[in-house]
Amino acid sequence: MSGSAGWRASLALEYQAQAGRTWLSARRHSGPLLVQKPLYPEGPGVCQSLILHPPGGIAGGDALEVEVRVGEGAHVQVTTPGAAKWYRSGGPMATLKQGLRVTCGGRLEWLPQESIFFEGALACSRTRVHLAGDALYLGWDLFALGRPAAGESFCHGALALDTEIWRDGRLVWTERGRIAGGDRLLIDAAGFGGATAAGTLALSGTPVHDDLLAACREVPVTEGVGAITRLPEVLVARWLGRETATGRAWLTALWSLLRPQVLGREAVIPRIWNT
C-alpha cells in the first residue's frame, strides 16, 4: 500500500537441505519486496538469493520486514542487486526489520550491498539473528551518511541502527547506533572522526584460532581505519572511512579469507556485485 502512510512490504523465505542440496522451500511476500529465482553458482550445496525492492528506495513512512529461516544442513547466501537508498523524509520514520533464524547445522551468509542514508533521512533498521546449536552466521552491514560525491553531507536526519545475535536464547552480541544529523559525534575523534561511511562484519558459530585472527588483522585497509575484535562467541570487524567502495573491499577481503576456513568453500564473488 502506498500513499502518505508509505509502503508496507514483507518477505519471508525458508530454506531446506537434503542429500547435499539446499533449496528455497517456501516464500511469501506482500508489497514491493521480492526474491529472484535461486542461483547456484557453486553447485547445489549453496543456494544464493537476491532480495529485490522494486521501488528502488525507502522513503519516510515505509515499513519493510524480511524474515529468513535456514533449516538443518542448509547453506544459504543472501545479497542484494544494489545499494539500498534511504530518502529524505518530510516527517515520518522509515523502518526495516530483519529476522534471521538458522537451525542447528545451518549456515547463513548475509551479504547485502551498502545502505545510503540521504540528507534528512529518518530511519530505523533492526536486524536480529537467532542461531541454534552449532548454526553459523557470517554477515555484514555497510552504510554511507549522505552522498559526498554529490556534495551532500548528513547535517539533518536521525538514524537508529540495531543489530543483535542470539544463540539458543542467549544474547551473545549487540550493537545499537544512534546517529543524529549534524551531531558532534560525526566529527569527534571519539565518534566517526569525520568519516562518512562505516561497516561491520560479524562471524558467529565457530572458534577463531590465533593464526586465523592474525591473518585477518594483516588484511590491509587501503582507506580509513579498520579493527578486529575476537569476543567469546563472535568475531567482529569494524571499518570507518569516506567511501563505501573501499570499506566493501576490506570486508570482502576478510570474507574471502574467512570463508574457506569456517565454511570449507573458496570465496566466489557474487556476479551481481560486478554489475
pLDDT in tens, 208-248: 999 999 999 999 999 999 999 999 999 999 999 999 999 99
Contact 262, 213 (CB under 8 A): no
Residue 125's DSSP bridge partners are 96, 161
Direct distance between the N- and C-terminal alpha carbons of the chain, in angstroms, rounded to an integer: 30
Q: Give the pLDDT confidence score for residue 151 in this predicted structure.
A: 77
Q: Give the pLDDT confidence score for residue 72 in this predicted structure.
A: 98
| Amino acid at the residue 65 | E
Residue corresponding to grid cell 568475531:
235
Q: Is the pLDDT of residue 106 over 90?
A: yes
Q: How far apart are CA 191 and CA 189, in angstroms?
A: 5
Least confident interval from 5-9, 92-96, 136-140, 196-200: 5-9
Q: What percent of the chain stands above pLDDT 90?
A: 92
Q: Give the pLDDT confidence score for residue 122 in this predicted structure.
A: 98
Question: pLDDT tier at 1 (50, 70, 90 boundaries)?
Answer: very low
Q: How far apart are CA 117 and CA 179, in angstroms?
A: 11
Residue 28's DSSP bridge partners are 12
Question: pLDDT tier at 2 (50, 70, 90 boundaries)?
Answer: very low
Cut 0.75: pTM above it? yes
